Each structure stands twice: as C-alpha cells, then as structure tokens.
Amino acid sequence: MSSGSVVGAGWHDTYFRWDISTPQRVVSRLEQLPGQGSLAQPGKKLYAERDRFGKWQHLLGSENVLLSYTVHTPKHGIIRRLEVQAHLGDSGEDDLCAPTIFEPRWKKLQLFMAMVGVLPPEDPACVRVDAAVDVGYGDTREGQRVLEALRFARWPGQWYAEWQGPPPYTTVAIKKGRNTVGRVYCRNTKLRNGGARWGKLRFESEHRFTWREARPLEDLRSETAAAVFWGSVFGQGKAAGTVTRIKREVQTMKLIERVQLGEITAAQFEQLTGFLDAERLGLTDRVYKPETARRRRSLAKDLGVSPADAEVEALDVSLDELLEVPRSAWAA
C-alpha cells in the first residue's frame, strides 16, 4: 500500500497575453513606466527595477512578472504584445491555485493592474499553463522510487527523461527535443524547508501555446481542463506501465527470461542486448540510423526496459501503481 497522499492540485504558473498593437491608453502608460528595455523599439521590456540591494522589484509584485514585446514586420507593421506571467496561488509551500479559486484570484490581479493603469480593455489569451499535483510520502523511499521510475521509463514518441541537478537526484525533467513538457521534483529540497528529501514531490506538466493556439480563460476555471493538461504527461498510457532497469551483469539473464516466456523472440533478444549497451554508453546515434533507433526504442518501451546508470540498484516496478496516488487528484 502506498504511503503517499495528495496534498494539493491546481495551476502553478499561468501566462496571459494581450494584443496592444492598436493605439490605446495602456500603451502610453506602459511607455512612461520605468523598466528594462523599450516599448518603442523592437525587443522586450521588463517592468521591474533593482532596489538598493540588487533585488528585482516587479511592478505587479513579487508573484507576477509584466513584460511587453515589440516586433516590426514588413507585412503587418508594428506588433505589440503585453504579457503577465502570473502566480495566482498562495505564497509559500502550498502555492497551487485550484481551478475553483481561479476566478477570484484572477479578478484581484486584474483590479491591481487597473489601479496601476496597465490593464488592456479586452480579455487576454492564455499562452502557458502548468498544471501540477503535490504528493506527500510518509516513506521517502517510495518518493525516490517514483523519481527513478519516471527517469528510466519509456516515454512516447521522441520524449525522454533526464536527471537535473547534482546527485542525490531530486528532479526529473521530461522533454521533447529541447522543450520541457513536464517535471517531477522534491518540493522540500527546492524550498529548503527542512523537510525530508523525497518526502514531497510535485508532478508538473507544462503547456505552451502560440498566439494562434492560445487557450481561453474558461479553461483555467475548469478542473476537467486541468486534469486533461496534467494527464497529457502523467496519465495512463503515456509512459510504459512497468519499468525494469537492468544492471549490465544481469541484463542477459533478464532478457533470456523474456525469450523463455515468449515475450520476445531470439532476434529481438539480440537487438535489445546491443541497443541497451549502446544506450548505456550514450552511443545510440553513432550506432543506429534514426529509423532503426526508433524501432529499438519502441520495442524497449513495449517491454518497459532501460539500462541502469553506473553503480545503481536494479529497478523492477509498476509505474502505474506508483502514479496511482497523484492520478487520484483528478479522479473526480
């Protein structure tokens, strides 16, 4: 039975953007405000200044960042965008904004923007949402196993996971190319709050949208939308249901067992043996053509096997069981 329990679920970071290309009162106000950059010239302007101690003081407070972007295009002329990178949750350790309280928090931020004179008249579009679930673990070893399972899981398509930071590792980033699509990290370690390492993990999905694909504000009021965004990274069927990380010295015997059980053929046994060795050494791109590497990764994902990093224990766990608790946050 899991020692974990959900302690929070909701939005972490939310980015809102307005089109301010047409002349309006807010543009002249933004031009007057101090900041880093210029609204009149191509580029970005950050509405913040450093205080006498060198710390940034943001116009909208420490939890929100206000930016503007100016682009000159031959076809459309001057294009200006105003962006607020908002953190609508409480400050401190439990800082997620539940969809049910998004509306009053958003209205409060809008009121403050209006008082400062930087609120455009129309509604913005949402260009980034980070949906997250916080889970506390009574047994920190379970939290550590969750991180290891996610690190060595087989992810769909071109997705992959990597450790971030120095060991002992407390953060796993899930990426597609250079773009981060999700991360799992220890909140206690990040906040340095004195809590046990791996005692509280945050499972966070990250979604960015172009201006054309931007989401309406209605999505942030919906728990269903939050569940869909979060589940697109951590939901059922995204990563392999089982994770078997194999030490080199037992790799051959484990794969032979799969052959004997009829899970793989002798040819696939030979393919996986060579592929896992190449992947362990980071030589996959040198050995295999892209299409061949894709097929080998697909086979490994179906079986849920990964090579072990040097000097770590073997791992044979059910990822679905380990993620049962965080997934329960959106079960309703």
* Residues 273, 221 share a domain: no
What pLDDT shows up at residue 241? 62
pTM: 0.79
Q: Determine, yes or no, domain membership for 332.
A: no
Domain shared by 62 and 26, yes or no: yes
> In this structure, are residues 113 and 142 in contact, taking their beta carbons and an 8 Å threshold?
no
Q: Which domain holds residue 68?
A: 4-234
Are both 9 and 43 inside the same structural domain?
Answer: yes
H or E stretch covering 145 = helix 140-152
Please report the pLDDT score of residue 27 as a whole number: 92
Looking at residue 248, its pLDDT comes to 63
User: At 204, is the secondary structure helix, strand, or coil?
Assistant: strand
Per-residue pLDDT at 263: 87
The verdict on 120 and 196 lying in the same domain is yes
State residue 284's pLDDT score: 77
Q: Are residues 152 and 265 in the same domain?
A: no
Q: To which residue do tokens 């295999």 refer? A: 288
What's residue 130's pLDDT?
Answer: 97
In a domain, 29, yes or no: yes
| Residue at 243 is within a domain | no
Number of helices (H) and strands (E) in the chain: give both, helices first.
11, 14
pLDDT at 75: 84
Q: Is 325 among the domain residues?
A: no
Q: Total domain count for the chain?
A: 2
- In angstroms, the CA 291 to CA 281 distance is 19
CB neighbours of residue 213 within 10 Å: 9
Domain assignment of residue 140, yes or no: yes
Please indicate, yes or no, whether residues 263 and 228 belong to a single structural domain of this protein: no
Which residue's entry shows tokens 């370690």? 189
From residue 231, how far is each of 20, 156, 308 by CA, in Å?
A: 34, 14, 27
Domain boundary pick from 200, 234, 268:
234
Instruction: Assess whether 58 and 28 both reside in one domain.
Output: yes
Q: Which two tokens stand for residue 211?
A: 């201006």
Are both 264 and 227 inside the same structural domain?
no
Q: What is the pLDDT of residue 255?
A: 84
In this structure, the answer to whether residues 225 and 255 fall within a common structural domain is no
Q: Which secondary structure element, helix H or strand E, spans residue 135, and what is its range? A: strand 125-137
Q: Which of 234, 261, 278 is the last residue of a domain?
A: 234
Q: What is the pLDDT along the chain (332 residues), one digit of tens a residue?
A: 788 999 999 999 999 999 999 888 999 999 999 999 998 889 999 999 998 888 999 999 999 999 999 999 888 888 999 999 999 999 888 999 999 999 999 999 999 999 999 999 999 999 999 999 999 999 999 999 899 889 888 788 888 888 898 878 899 999 988 899 999 999 999 999 999 999 999 999 999 999 889 999 999 999 999 999 999 999 987 776 666 665 666 677 778 888 888 988 999 888 888 888 887 766 777 788 888 888 888 888 777 777 654 444 556 677 888 899 999 998 64
Query: Are 167 and 276 contained in the same domain?
Result: no
| Residue after which a domain boundary falls, among 205, 234, 263 | 234
Both 196 and 258 in one domain: the answer is no
Please report whether residue 252 resides in a domain: yes
Q: Are residues 259 and 196 in the same domain?
A: no
Reference 243, options 162, 147, 155, 315; nearest CA is: 315
Domain membership of residue 90 (yes or no) is yes
pLDDT of residue 88: 95
pLDDT at site 247: 62
Residue 8 lies in a domain: yes
